[in-house]
Amino acid sequence: MSQTTSNRYSRQTRFAPFGPEGQAALGRATAVIVGCGALGTVQAALLARAGVGTLRLIDRDYVETSNLQRQVLYTEADAEAALPKAEAARRHLAEANSEVAVEVHISDLDAGNADELLGGAAVILDGTDNFETRMLINDFAVREGVPWIYGAAVSSYGIAMPVLPGDSACFRCVYPEAPSGAQPTCETAGVLGPVTSVIASIQAMEAIKILAGKSSDVRRKIFTADLWTGPMREIGMPPRDPECQTCGRREFVYLDNKRRAPVSLCGRNAVQIHEKKRPLNLVELAARLTGLGTIRANEFALRFDDGEHEVTVFPDGRAIIKGTTDPGVARSVYSRYLGN
Ligand SMILES: [Zn+2]
């Protein structure tokens, strides 16, 4: 360990249960963060500063001004440039700790790329905003025996829970089915920065234990907190359900479902079209759209606004259509400007 390195991490190696051997293990390990929003930016900042070996960031989205209230890595300049979140995060993390290898994946985690994007992880951190993706992470984690840390937050409330395959209950043992009816979202119910920071910090703490080779110290508890009105609680995790479809019967239905429909994005008045994946030349596209609306482009994305809808197109053909929550409308806007 170099002098700089030992000085950089001296405050955490001095903590005896972690120690220099924890630091060494952390420095060899790979952590994957799915979603670089409010939870993911805090997780990424803590893990990068702690000295994780490799940090893989997966996010499909770009920075917007409304993110800045709680997504602690980003700046006004990132929003102005409409940088993809994973890339903006990489740049800021490199300024904080250049020793960490940060891999950027500007894409949506789905059944088709889960093996590639999650493979090799020592731990997976949930920074997503939807049940389907969590089920997909859970399928992969249980199948491959990789621990993951669930986290969610809305309004002033949050929850965090570790999943240790083969040891603890899995996510599906606790939530067998998707919640029914309309759920509160960050748009309808809002969300407070301290809440996402607390939940993400708890996720990062448990992840650091796992990465440092101290999995036996992971707290097998469900943590819940309402930071505005109410209590912070820890409740015991339920036992593993032997009939659980995922960890009991080992049927990985979310991983096996390779086809995905367009999805409305949580709290965004936007729909993502990702069933038309194919490489797009953004420079050519910008030329084709000239005169039809305002266009802004960088090397990662092209944003086009026709006055009614704002379309953000990525080089893999994926697009986010803002100004509607109707997949049919979004598909028609997509076809109008990008073809079929
Ligand atoms: Zn289970």
How far, in Å, is the centroid of ligand 1 from the Cα of 171? 6
Distance, CA of 268 to CA of 236 (rounded, Å): 34
How far, in Å, is the centroid of ligand 1 from the Cα of 221? 15
Nearest to 165 by CA among 198, 121, 131: 121
How far, in Å, is the centroid of ligand 1 from the Cα of 163? 9
Distance, CA of 32 to CA of 212 (rounded, Å): 15
Q: Can you read off the two tokens belonging to residue 271?
A: 């729909």
How far, in Å, is the centroid of ligand 1 from the Cα of 166? 9
How far, in Å, is the centroid of ligand 1 from the Cα of 328? 35
User: Span 3-256: which CATH code?
Assistant: 3.40.50.720
How far, in Å, is the centroid of ligand 1 from the Cα of 272? 30
Mark the ranges of the chain whose per-residue pLDDT is less than 50.
259
Give me the pLDDT at residue 2, please: 55
How far, in Å, is the centroid of ligand 1 from the Cα of 175? 9
Give me the pLDDT at residue 334, please: 85
Give me the pLDDT at residue 76, please: 98
Distance, CA of 171 to CA of 148 (rounded, Å): 10
How far, in Å, is the centroid of ligand 1 from the Cα of 145? 12
Nearest to 338 by CA among 284, 267, 271, 264: 284
How far, in Å, is the centroid of ligand 1 from the Cα of 282? 43
User: Span 263-338: which CATH code?
Assistant: 3.30.310
Give me the pLDDT at residue 108, please: 87
Q: Do 228 and 192 contact (CB within 8 A), yes or no?
A: yes
Q: What HEC string does the chain produce?
A: CCHHHHHHCHHHHCCCCCHHHHHHHHHHCEEEEECCCHHHHHHHHHHHHHCCCEEEEECCCECCHHHCCCCCCCCHHHHHCCCEHHHHHHHHHHHHCCCCEEEEECCCCCCCCHHHHHCCCCEEEECCCCHHHHHHHHHHHHHHCCCEEEEEEEECEEEEEEECCCCCCCHHHHCCCCCCCCCCCCCCCCECHHHHHHHHHHHHHHHHHHHCCCHHHCCCEEEEEECCCCCEEEEECCCCCCCCCCCCCCCCHHHHCCCCCCEECCCCCEEEECCCCCCCCHHHHHHHHCCCCEEEECCCCEEEECCCCEEEECCCCCEEEECCCCHHHHHHHHHHHHCC
How far, in Å, is the centroid of ligand 1 from the Cα of 109? 21
Domain boundaries, the chain: 3-256, 263-338
How far, in Å, is the centroid of ligand 1 from the Cα of 140? 12
How far, in Å, is the centroid of ligand 1 from the Cα of 48? 31
Q: For residue range 257-305, what is the model confidence (pLDDT) as tens digits?
A: 864 555 666 567 888 887 767 788 888 888 888 888 898 888 888 888 9
How far, in Å, is the centroid of ligand 1 from the Cα of 167? 10
How far, in Å, is the centroid of ligand 1 from the Cα of 254? 13
Give me the pLDDT at residue 286, please: 87
How far, in Å, is the centroid of ligand 1 from the Cα of 321? 35
Give me the pLDDT at residue 290, please: 86
